[in-house]
Amino acid sequence: MSAAGAAVGPRAEDIRCDVCRIPPPVRRARRRAARTAALLTLVLLLGGGAATGCGGRATTHHKPGTSHEEASGSAGTLLTTDDGAGHRLREVPAEGAPKVRLTARPDSEDGWNLQLALDSFDFTPDSTGGAALRGAGHAHLELDGRKLARLYSPWFHLPAAQVPEGAHTLTVRLYADDHTAWAVSGKPIEATIPLAGGGQAAGHSHDATPPTSTPAPTPTPTPGQGPGQAPGQTHGQADRTVTITVRDGKVTPAPARTELKRGERLALRVTSDRADTLHVHGYDKELALPAGQEATLVLTVDRTGLFEVETHASGLVLTQLLVR
Amino acid sequence: MSWTRRFPAVPAALLAALLALLSLFAAAPAAQAHEERPVTLPDGTGSVPVYRAGEPDLLVCKTDRPAFERRVSAFPEALRQRNLALYERCEKAGYRHLQEAVDAVDRPGMNIAILPGLYEEEPSLPKPAGECAALKAPDSSLGYQILSYEQQVRCRHNQNLVAILGKTNLQIEGTGASRLDVVIDAKYQKLNAVRADRSNGVYFRNFTAQRTTFNSLYVLAGDGFVIDDVLTRWNDEYGFLTFASDHGLYKNCESYGNGDSGIYPGSASDINDGRGYEVPRYSIEITGCRSHHNMVGYSGTAGDSVWVHDNEFDQNMGGASMDSAFPGHPGLPQNHAKFERNLIHDNNQDYYRYVADGTCAKPPAERGYEQGVVCPQISMPPGTGIITAGGNWNLYEGNWVYGHQRAGFFLSAVPAFIRGEEAWSKQTDTSHHNRYAGNVMGKDRAGAARPNGMDVWWDGQGRGNCWQDGPDGSTPGTVPQCGAARGDLTGASARLVGEPVKLVQLLVCADYSVQARKLPAGCDWYGARGLERVETQIALAVAAVLLLVGGVLWWRRLRGSRLGTAASLLGLAGLALDVAGSTAGLVATFVPALALLLLGLWWTGAGLALRADRPWLARLTLLLAGLTLLDAFDKAVLMIPWTPLSPAWVRALVALVWVLWAVVASARPASPAPVGTRTPPPPADPGPAPAVGGAPGPASGGARTPAAARGAGGDPAPAPAVAAGGDPGPAPAVGGAPAPAGPASSTNAAADRRSDHPGTDGPR
């Protein structure tokens, strides 16, 4: 240590330090000098003027670099109102404010694929928890006001199982890194679409940002039964699934009883080798069976008793439902 | 940090002449620039502070209790209870902003606890007003003022979100379960998030600081500091900057998203200046840290006596760099860094694209740092593990260095005038005694192969540098080898200056400016490929000139000689290989040396064939041949130990003369010797000596005799001796002399660089 002290001692004079950068006028001169030196060196060493073509210059240090311009102003104004879940609203001017639109398309397997179309907004998952910066943050996805998920990207898969049967409202709302909700004119920046559980999404969203006119949603065509039906809407939330295949007039597995409790949801997944119609007696539910394609009928067995499930055209009994 | 503006060394003698010239060109201003106020290195009497686990003296928390309870709800129960208890206390007697707590520190050794929350330090944010808006202070080139310490005290929030000025042994600790539970966010509104200035013994622990226009955590002129489990990210320049400090310890830290480096122990106390490898202590220790997705993970302009061990530097443009390339840093030239057992890998990011596409021209808050944008502040070779641009006595031992597209190790010199020191004796004071030994190259820790583009890129300058045995790909092709003990090495060299082509390349590459969006074309650091690379362009130009000159020489003077023809063919192959060897993929292979070998053989054969006819050209050719073969030996077998310059430099000069001479020799109207009749002239050239001088005219008289014997019909009287010399062969009277002027002038560059084709930069 003493040795070190000795080594350090002499250095204790004021030493000019430059945390790496250089003030301009002086530096520039120096830089010019250095460049000249470099070029001259080359010229001399290479024995001629050809080196000037190499264009190098030895700047002696860090050029000014990026602007280092300090940001100013605020990222909106915190309002006293909140989003209903304790997140305060953060008001920003309508001009340049983020915008969001929401689209839901039925997925071919299960549920929906949601897409957020965003303007003036970036997802910043890595800085979540930091301060609010304009045009950045994340989104919340809500079903009837209940938060389903935090979104960090424009695409999200919503499983059918998360959407109970019936009509619902799906909402996406934009939040800042500090979990305040971006708002314009005192209203959160959000988009909503109606969604039918056990059915299908109604289609496009409102552009809810500026709370102005909301274009009527263009509902996507009802998938209906048969091939167009989105299976996910149905068996996704079934308590029981029974899979049956009809081939050459034979039913597999062999017809038997299916025991159920009253109130359970049952999915019947039937594949027939010829076009037919599935019929559940007692409940009088029908479903078109396309040839060679699986179709699924979902029903809630809300009455007790023994009910036959059969095909109309071929007149086969597929199973019997024993509901207690 | 930042090494990069390095510029290869220049021989001291030349430099002296240059400096003299410079004084004519630029009235060199005496003023010295600095971007920070003048500071004094600590006297080294301090010590590394020790963590104090006791109850905090001061508490900082936010007011929203439900939010706080939510934040701590998932903590381990004991920690949760402790935080709830602290919150209880803080609600009554705590502070709402860290700065308020710092201001309340009234004695050495106090502890501040920051409870989980987001700290924006709103009272610090308003723009300077009144006196603070009109401080008299010099401007830096970056647009901020260089304030004195007193000005910092008076106007502490001009540049700092949290200013810790003149406190002793202060400890600031986040009480969360992880460092992300306490976030100090400058929102790009200040140069520094936390500045500890003249505050010896400061201890930072368990929090995050982020989003500044310079650096997140800044320790200046401190003797004794610890950075423990702190995360910094998204800064224009640095995550951690500790400057002109001693007795420092970084541990378990993390930094990413910085335009310069994550970790910058700049101007660490220069306590080992003048020592060899054995040193009594290091001024700063860095361990257990990870620095990733920056321009460089670690940088050390004047990073003296820093012991860097067991860290991970990955996914940057470069893993770590040491340099002596910037003026005004106390402790230059850089010396005595020790890197041990670090994982340095996959530093292949290319952030220059954000400069090219204009992203970096936006204000910092809009660049998208949080989404992975980095704006590289300076020029550097992406795809490199450890860069040393001007440094001495550095030890790189036992590290894992793998997966780099360009090079594992990169070493070059930086002459002192680059850092503003013009004493002649200092111009070659870097890079010496750097030892690269016992590292695992091109393999990850599990032993899987993850090769570097090449293991070693070296400009060839310096003495006492050595590398471990068997680098997988190196330029030059052979490098001095470290012995078992520090200081032992074989194949040592001691050059004053680097290889010429590397010098040119570095010059071209250094002309980068992020502000001007200037990305030098021709430099593969910024994406130049194939023919765009300056190295390949030079090789092509040289090849073209030599092909032309060599071709004409062959046609006019060597055609009749089987030896001459065979040699010329070798030369042709050599030129082709020379161009090939300049490409990124082959530069670190045997090809460049093989090209030199073939060229050497060409000139050997040509020299021999010319001997009878053009003895002095022949001698020059043989000299060139010798130098070329020597250069090949130097690059493939062993660096010649006792020369202050690479043979490439001498060869370049000789080649230049040779080209001119060969052009002249070929251009002379040859004596129209009877075609087909080979009348070998008497081998002895009676009057060579005078002829050589190249002095035309009278000297030729003597020389003419043999020519006359051969039928000197077409030799106009005043023929210079050269031409008069015996023309052994069938010298046909080729009408068109190759326009000497064109090739000759373009040869300068060509000849020169050709001398050193292996000096191209590494592959990318």
Note the pLDDT tens digit of each residue in B521-545. 999 999 999 999 999 999 999 999 9
pLDDT, residue B706, reads 38
What percentage of chain B exceeds 90 in pLDDT? 74
Give the span between the Cα atoms of B253 and B261, in whole angstroms.
Answer: 13
Residue of higher predicted confidence among B644 and B730: B644
Which chain A residues are Cβ-neighbours of B325 within 8 angstroms?
A: 60-61
Interface contact A134-B41, CB threshold 8 A: no
Which chain A residues touch B272 with a CB distance below 8 Å? 4, 7
Closest Cβ–Cβ partner in B18, B378, B534 for A62: B378
Residue B55 clears pLDDT 90, i.e. is over it? yes
Which residue would you say has higher pLDDT here, A289 or B228? B228
Q: B459 φ, ψ to 5°?
A: -80, -10
Q: Which residue of A has its CA nearest to B40?
A: A14
Residue among A51, A62, A130 whose CB faces B210 most closely: A130
Element (H, E) at B661: helix B647-667
Q: Are β-strands B312-314 and B290-292 bridged in parallel, bridged antiparallel, or unpaired?
A: parallel
Q: Where are the alpha helices (DSSP H) in A65-110?
A: none
Which residue would you say has higher pLDDT here, B700 or B567?
B567
Q: Do residue A23 and residue B41 have CB atoms under 8 angstroms apart?
A: no
Phi, psi of A280 (to 5 degrees): -105, 115
pLDDT of res. A310: 86
A244 phi, psi to nearest 5 deg: -135, 140
pLDDT in tens, A166-181: 999 999 999 999 999 9
Q: What is the pLDDT of residue B617?
A: 93
Digit-coded pLDDT (tens) for B733-764:
333 333 333 333 343 444 444 344 443 343 33
pLDDT in tens, A240-262: 888 888 888 888 888 888 888 88
CA-to-CA distance for B507 and B391, rounded, in angstroms?
19
pLDDT tens figures, A98-142? 999 999 999 999 999 999 999 999 999 999 999 999 999 999 999
b/e code B288-300 from CB counts within 10 Å (16+ = b): ebbbbbbbbbbbb
| Per-residue model confidence (pLDDT) at position B424 | 92
- Judged against a pLDDT cut of 60, whether residue B174 lies above it is answered with yes
Give B555 or A200, the one with higher predicted confidence.
B555
pLDDT at position B25: 31
**Alpha carbons B516 and A66: distance in angstroms, whole number:** 9
The alpha carbon of residue B228 is apart from the nearest alpha carbon of chain A, in Å, by 21
- The pLDDT score that the predictor gives to residue B407 is 97
- Name which of A80-84, B399-403, B690-694 the model is least confident about: B690-694
- Is the omega angle on the peptide bond into residue B333 within 30 degrees of 0, that is, cis? yes
CA distance A267 to A235: 5
Please, are residues B703 and B725 in contact by the beta-carbon 8 Å criterion? yes
The pLDDT value recorded for residue B648 is: 94
Q: Given a cut of 70, is residue B722 above it in pLDDT? A: no
pLDDT of residue A63: 59
Q: What integer is the mean pLDDT of B95-118?
A: 98
CA B420 – CA B34 distance, rounded (Å): 12
Is the four-CA dihedral B404, B408, B412, B416 of positive or negative sign? positive
The mean per-residue pLDDT over the stretch B393-398 comes to: 98
Residue contact B142–A14, C-beta within 8 A: no
Using CB atoms, which residue from A37, A58, A129 is nearest to B22?
A37
Min Cα separation A176/chain B (Å): 13
pLDDT digits 0-9 by tens, B235-282: 999 999 999 999 999 999 999 999 999 999 999 999 999 999 999 999
- Residue A233 vs residue B85, higher pLDDT: B85
Treating both helix axes as pointing N-terminal to C-terminal, what angle do B500-510 and A24-46 enclose, rounded to 10 degrees?
150
Quote the CA–CA distance of B76 and B83 in Å, as a whole number.
11
Contact B328 A86 (CB under 8 A): no
pLDDT at A217: 39
- Judging contacts by C-beta atoms under 8 Å, the chain B residues touching residue A49 are 745, 748
pLDDT(B717) > 80: no
Q: What percent of chain A shows pLDDT beyond 90?
A: 34
The domain limits of chain A are 16-69, 77-222, 238-323
| Average pLDDT, integer, range B108-124 | 97
pLDDT (0 to 100) of residue B761: 40
Nearest CA in chain B to A51: B749
Confidence of residue B579 (pLDDT cuts 50, 70, 90): very high
Query: Tens of pLDDT along B16-41?
Result: 444 333 333 332 222 222 378 888 88
Mutate to test the interface with B, among A68, A147, A153, A179 (most CBs of B within 10 A): A68
Average pLDDT over residues A95-100: 95
- Using one digit for the tens of pLDDT, what is the confidence trace for B399-423? 999 999 999 999 999 999 888 898 9
Contact A38 B280 (CB under 8 A): no
In this prediction, residue B714 carries a pLDDT of: 37
Per-residue model confidence (pLDDT) at position B509: 92
Which residues neighbour A318 within 8 Å (Cβ) at sequence distance 6 or greater?
A: A244, A246, A251, A255, A268, A270, A278, A309, A310, A311
**What value does the mean pLDDT of chain B take?**
85
In the 8-state DSSP scheme, what is residue B190? S
Q: Does pLDDT of B696 surpass 80?
A: no
Cα separation, B763 vs A6, whole angstroms? 46
- Cα dihedral B329, B331, B335, B337 sign: negative
Averaged pLDDT for residues A146-168? 94
Write out the H or E segment, with its range, that includes residue B617: helix B615-636
| Local confidence band at A237 (pLDDT 50, 70, 90 cut-offs) | low
Find chain A residues with C-beta within 8 A of B185's C-beta.
130-131
Q: Which band of pLDDT confidence, cut at 50, 70 and 90, is reported for residue A44? A: very low
How close, in Å, is residue A114 to chain B by CA atoms?
A: 22
B656 interaction partners in chain A (CB closer than 8 Å): 46-48
> What would the pLDDT profile of B587-617 be if each residue is shown by its tens digit?
999 999 999 999 999 999 999 999 888 899 9
- Asked whether residue B50 carries a pLDDT value surpassing 90, the answer given is yes
Band of residue B390 on the pLDDT scale cut at 50, 70, 90: very high
Q: Tell me what pLDDT residue B669 has.
A: 67
Residues of A in contact with B118 (CB under 8 A): 129-131, 178
Does the structure's ipTM exceed the value 0.95?
no
List all residues of chain B from 212 to 231 with a beta carbon under 8 Å from chain A.
213-214
Neighbours of B705 (CB within 10 A): 17
Query: Across the interface, do A17 and B185 touch by the CB < 8 Å criterion?
Result: no
Cβ pair A224, A200 in contact under 8 A: no
Q: Is B325 part of the contact surface with chain A (CB cutoff 8 Å)?
A: yes
Option in B327, B363, B749 nearest A46 (CB):
B749
**Average confidence (pLDDT) over B337-342:** 98
- How many angstroms separate the CA of residue A84 from the nearest CA in chain B? 15
Average pLDDT of the segment spanning A82-89 = 92
Least confident of A27-41, A55-69, B184-198, B287-301: A27-41
Do residues B583 and B524 make contact, with C-beta atoms less than 8 angstroms apart? Answer: no
The CATH number for A238-323, chosen from 2.60.40.420, 3.40.190.10, 2.70.240.10, 3.40.50.720, is 2.60.40.420
